[in-house]
Structure 1
Amino acid sequence: MILLTGFEPFGGDSTNPSWTAVLVAQDILRAEGHEVEALELPCVFGESASVLQEAMERLRPELVICTGLAGGRDRLSLERVAINCDDARIPDNAGNQPIDEEVVGGGPAAYFSTLPVKSALRALQIAGIRAEVSQTAGTYVCNHVFYALMHWLSSTPVAAQARGGFIHVPYDEARLPQGSAAPAMSVRDMGEGIAVVVRTALETSVDAKLSAGAIH
């Protein structure tokens, strides 16, 4: 079982490309014979993690990939690190705006993704889909969900063999205002890219050793 998640719209937007892209990826992977469930998460601190945990307990997936929007980025970002910090620049969809709070009280400072992010990056490049390994998932609800996911996978015996991680997606190029120069990508390419990451994770037990770091 593969669990894919995206977010509901936030910040005044009417759609969220992470959810649309996940639906595209779900269709692609199901057509290939994979058992896949897609879940739309609320853009709300706390509630998003609870909804995700309930789904994981119910479905017992072997692979969980959560996605979210990173407006301003021009490619898929394979997130490497989730940090135990909620620090919201804007309120979430319920009006919550935590500042310098832990995602999980007393939890580790950070978790690394257990996806083969380097191998996935190489596979995306071969497929002609713009991608990068990112060193920060921010401190908003995306990071909140990423951290909660990795904490649950690392601390729950029934999930010991499961793998998980997070992908940020750009704006949907079809929904940019006319004349906008904001970086964007087609939802089809996003969905194809998510499917590439899923296939790579299912096929790869040891990640590739290649440079994908950052100077700053």
Structure 2
Amino acid sequence: MANKKKVLVTGFEPFGKHAVNSSWVAVQELERLGLGEAVDLHVCEVPVEYQAVQGLLPSLWKEHKPQLMVHVGVSGLATTVTLEQCGHNKGYKRLDNCSFCPASQCCMDSGPDCIQSVLDMDTVCGRVNDSGLGVTISVSKDAGRYLCDYTYYTSLYLGQGHSAFIHVPPLGKPYSSQDLGRALQATIQEMLKLLELDHKHHQHCNHKHQQEHEHY
């Protein structure tokens, strides 16, 4: 298929008390499951380092030019699979795996305080929860001001909002890697359907607009 959608999904390496990072385990499970024939899925493990993220994300967007980039991170506080609506620019005080944090404590010096995803996470959440998956999905507007939030903001900035962030709980609290993989698969498939609808809606509006002009 020439017009395959390209989706890039990232997970994080281990850090702190997360000797196994459930985000990368879940992403590997998703890679095994795939996103269906029409989607070209690429996965990548991201270091828990501000400077590595700064270098890696622009090259991922440039090289792959995905329709959607989805970042997955672990949250020790999460008990559901949590969809993040927005990324934040300021407040990065926590040290990374290299004991570093940005001197300015922000992602982009001249960037807006907050960038929203083009996806309406409440809609995605509702659809996945209604599908009887057996994994609970919820929505959050605070990705935590650490590498997760930093990565999300940077990606939203680079991809004009065509990015998503999903927080997963640690393995076994309460979900297995298989559960998390299935949850990622179902969630990303809903995200792609929503993007497709938006795209068709815009095409339809533009077409209608052109037709109106032709009457003059």
TM-score by structure 2 length? Answer: 0.81
1:135-167 Cα distance to aligned partner (Å, 9 max, x none): 10010010000000001012xxxxxxx721101
Are 1:104 and 2:94 matched, yes or no? no
Query: SS at the partner of 1:133?
Result: strand
- Partner residue in 2 for 1:43: 48
Are 1:134 and 2:140 matched, yes or no? yes
Query: How far off is 1:33 after superposition?
Result: 5.0
Query: SS at the partner of 1:37?
Result: strand
- Partner residue in 2 for 1:158: none
CA contact (8 A) 2:107 2:150 kept: yes
Cα distance in 1 for residues equivalent to 2:15 and 2:113? 27
Cα distance in 1 for residues equivalent to 2:75 and 2:136? 14
Cα distance in 2 for residues equivalent to 1:139 and 1:63? 22
Cα distance in 2 for residues equivalent to 1:31 and 1:108? 36
Cα distance in 2 for residues equivalent to 1:77 and 1:45? 22
TM-score by structure 1 length? Answer: 0.81
Cα distance in 2 for residues equivalent to 1:49 and 1:170? 25
- The within-5 A match list for 1:138-153 is 138-153=144-159
CA contact (8 A) 2:30 2:182 kept: yes
Q: 1:20 aligns with which of 18, 25, 31?
A: 25
Structure 2 letter corresponding to 1:40: E
- Partner residue in 1 for 2:177: 187
Against the structure 1 CA distance between its residues 30 and 113, is the aligned structure 2 distance closer, same or farther, given a 3 Å change threshold?
closer
Are 1:120 and 2:124 matched, yes or no? yes
Task: For structure 2, list consecutive stretches of 5 or more residues without a partner in the other structure.
Answer: 1-5, 199-216
- Partner residue in 2 for 1:197: 187
Cα distance in 2 for residues equivalent to 1:44 and 1:116? 29
* More helix by percentage: 2
Against the structure 1 CA distance between its residues 79 and 187, is the aligned structure 2 distance closer, same or farther, given a 3 Å change threshold?
same
1:44-68 Cα distance to aligned partner (Å, 9 max, x none): 0121132122112111111110010
Structure 2 letter corresponding to 1:152: L
CA contact (8 A) 2:93 2:105 kept: no
Cα distance in 1 for residues equivalent to 2:121 and 2:77? 21
CA contact (8 A) 1:44 1:96 kept: yes
Cα distance in 2 for residues equivalent to 1:171 and 1:184? 8
Cα distance in 2 for residues equivalent to 1:57 and 1:166? 19
Against the structure 1 CA distance between its residues 40 and 86, is the aligned structure 2 distance closer, same or farther, given a 3 Å change threshold?
farther
Aligned residue pair count: 189
